[in-house]
Amino acid sequence: MASITLDHLAHAYRPDPRDPQDYALKEINHVWRQGGAYALLGPSGCGKTTLLNIISGLVTPTQGRILFDGKDVTNLPTEARNIAQVFQFPVVYDTMTVRENLAFPLKNRHLPREAIAKRVEEIASRLDMTRVLDRKASNLTADAKQKISLGRGLVRSDVAAILFDEPLTVIDPHLKWQLRSTLKELHRALDLTMIYVTHDQTEALTFADTVVVMHDGAVVQTGTPEELFERPAHTFVGHFIGSPGMNVLPVRVDGATAHIGDVAVRLARAYPALPAGEKIELGVRPEFATLARAGTGLPVRVKRIDDIGRARIARVEIAGHAAAAMVPDGLALDGDRAGLALETRQIHIYAGGVLVPGEGGVG
């Protein structure tokens, strides 16, 4: 295992990159801690695979260095990096048994027979594959084959890191849920550095202690699932994480008051120095916005109410802008007029999409 440092790393596929848009991966500085469980989360095309390929050595970055435990590996090939990888689709030897498949990476490293047997049994048991250990891989389902791929990634205890690239794509939805928890348990038990690439927020948030969110080739936030939820560093993170995502409303801010059209909203902090020329927005998650009787809180019009099982969500309009809010049990509405109560401390202000910390704590 190793800590992995990305030092001023950037990558452009075109040979003559000039401006930021030419980079598939914009400059990133990051340390993947030894033993950490990380998710690399972002929509299709945001640069996740490019970054993963730089870590594994399949792509040499245009700029910057990559260090494993302080040693520069930027120009080392994949074989010299001691990385395990699990891809979207199964990579297994069909003619071998499950046991032989799992043992293969260890045999290659010339581990003693007893050590191999013990480790294979352990990994098979954790993946619930003990019963099929002596079956040929070719006779198994796609799900089971992908479990073998996961096992082959996990079986070596000496790897610098395990990289998972959307590993549950081919897995049946029911089993997917179970495997997500299994991977989390395996991380705790095996003490390996794991980097899990996905575009699925549920997968990222269940697996990772730290989530690295990417958007348009750049890392927009690195944090725990709680931090991403409670303090999105970018409006993209607010939108992308959460269901429904964060409300983002254009505002004019005057000290510790935001104005959404002619509706004034009191803020917990003051914003005396917002950059001129940037779009200023207020962000508040629906979970911190509660519908109330008309005449209390901020005036809104209710467009519709969606029942999403665990909660009822009101789709409202505030000063002409759409927003979502929670509907408390027992609230009786009179027509489409209602009030909106916002949790002041959970309101964030963004300039050009980026969180502005604000000053002091008002109220």
Give the nearer residue to ligand ATP in terms of CB position, either 213 or 338.
213
Shortest approach of ligand ATP to residue 78 CB, angstroms?
16
Provide the token pair at 22.
């030419």
Shortest approach of ligand ATP to residue 198 CB, angstroms?
9
Give the nearer residue to ligand ATP in terms of CB position, either 144 or 211.
211
Q: How many residues does the chain have?
A: 363
Give the type of residue at 92.
V
Give the nearer residue to ligand ATP in terms of CB position, either 24 or 144.
24
Give the nearer residue to ligand ATP in terms of CB position, either 47 or 242.
47
Give the nearer residue to ligand ATP in terms of CB position, either 61 or 297.
61
Shortest approach of ligand ATP to residue 70 CB, angstroms?
26
What residue ranges bind ligand ATP (CB under 6 A)? Answer: 13, 24, 42, 44-50, 199
- Sorted by sequence, the CB contacts under 8 Å of residue 91 that are 6+ apart come out as 149, 152
Give the nearer residue to ligand ATP in terms of CB position, either 58 or 354.
58
Shortest approach of ligand ATP to residue 165 CB, angstroms?
8
Shortest approach of ligand ATP to residue 64 CB, angstroms?
16
Shortest approach of ligand ATP to residue 184 CB, angstroms?
22
Give the nearer residue to ligand ATP in terms of CB position, either 218 or 349.
218
- Sorted by sequence, the CB contacts under 8 Å of residue 63 that are 6+ apart come out as 8, 9, 10, 11, 27
Shortest approach of ligand ATP to residue 73 CB, angstroms?
20
Shortest approach of ligand ATP to residue 205 CB, angstroms?
18
Shortest approach of ligand ATP to residue 40 CB, angstroms?
8
Are 7 and 71 a contacting pair, CB within 8 Å? no
Provide the token pair at 129.
């594959």
Give the nearer residue to ligand ATP in terms of CB position, either 203 or 287.
203
Give the nearer residue to ligand ATP in terms of CB position, either 48 or 187.
48
Are 168 and 197 a contacting pair, CB within 8 Å? no
Are 355 and 231 a contacting pair, CB within 8 Å? yes
